[in-house]
Amino acid sequence: MLSTTTVAVVLLSGIAAAQSEDTTHSREMGPAAFMWPPDRPWSAEADNIPPCGSSSGVGNRTEFPLANGRLALVTQNETSGQHIGVSYLDNPTKIDDFEIFYRPTQLDPVLDVGHTCILAPNPPTNVTAGSNATFMFFYMEDGGAETSPFWACTDITYVDTAAFDESIPCFNATRENPDVSTDGSVSVTTTAPDGSNPHPELENDGDDGLSGGAIAGAVIGSLAGAALILAGAFFLWRRSRKSKAAVQPSMQQVEKAMSDKSSQ
């Protein structure tokens, strides 16, 4: 396990190096996605179609601990109205198959460009090792032209927590809040001990500084070199177009968009 100091040094080195490097906007994901467990294959034609935003059905399943699991989100555009749910069916096909466990009131109203680590709920007692589940993530692109929610799903198989020895590539590092610390109990980095409050609100001081994409790309690349990140890092780029103070929570946006879409 890397120490907090080691992680911090690696991150700072990567971010500093990124100041002179260009990063590109990923064309293989929407405005946001599950980074871990990896989500279903993405396509622009399907990412506004509930509940999973993919033309592919259930695919490869990732082993996931029965207790103290984490979900890693990556955001290349600011998003709002985030909802995350879970289904314990083998093949969920509709929104009602999922139980929502995170809403905009529990996450930041706006997720900034970068990475967010959140705590996944433990499954009910009738779900045991070997049981399947699917996590769903839907949200609005903040300030984007698209008026429908975006969707993503990741498929898992639960394993006994004691048998799960993978280092989860889950951390918090965004343009607004790049600080990290190590949570040794689950081999992740997180700004909150339980992962449930990833980004306290900060006022925008108007200083653009390092771009969100450079921060995100540097953090991914640096942690990959430190054996904390899966191969194939996302390279992200986007500068904020308005201050966070001007953005309102958009749970209503998502619900209205879903209602409008279903009535078409």
What is the Cα 1 distance to its own chain's centre? 23
Q: What is the value of pTM for the model shown? A: 0.66
CA distance 41 to 15: 29
Q: How far from 249 is each of 35, 41, 74, 110, CA to CA, in Å?
A: 24, 29, 19, 7
- Give pLDDT, residue 169: 81
**Confidence band of 201 (pLDDT split at 50, 70, 90):** very low
Judge whether residue 76 has pLDDT over 70. yes
Q: What string of H, E and C letters represents the secondary structure of 29-52?
A: CCCEEEEECCCCCCCCCCCCCCCC
**Confidence band of 37 (pLDDT split at 50, 70, 90):** very high
Contact 243, 143 (CB under 8 A): no
Cis ω before 37 (30° cut-off from 0): yes
Mean pLDDT of 215-237: 38
**Confidence band of 177 (pLDDT split at 50, 70, 90):** low
Query: Quick one: tokens of 78?
Result: 């600011």
- Give pLDDT, residue 59: 85
CA distance 51 to 256: 16
Contact 131, 246 (CB under 8 A): no
- Give pLDDT, residue 128: 97
Q: Which of 228, 116, 120, 231 is nearest to 167 (CA)?
A: 228
Judge whether residue 240 has pLDDT over 80. no
- Give pLDDT, residue 252: 54
At 54, the amino acid letter reads S
**Confidence band of 261 (pLDDT split at 50, 70, 90):** very low
Mean pLDDT of 196-207: 34
pLDDT in tens, 107-149: 667 778 888 888 999 999 999 999 999 999 999 987 766 678 9
Q: Integer distance in angstroms from the first to the last C-alpha of the chain? A: 52
Mean pLDDT of 39-60: 92
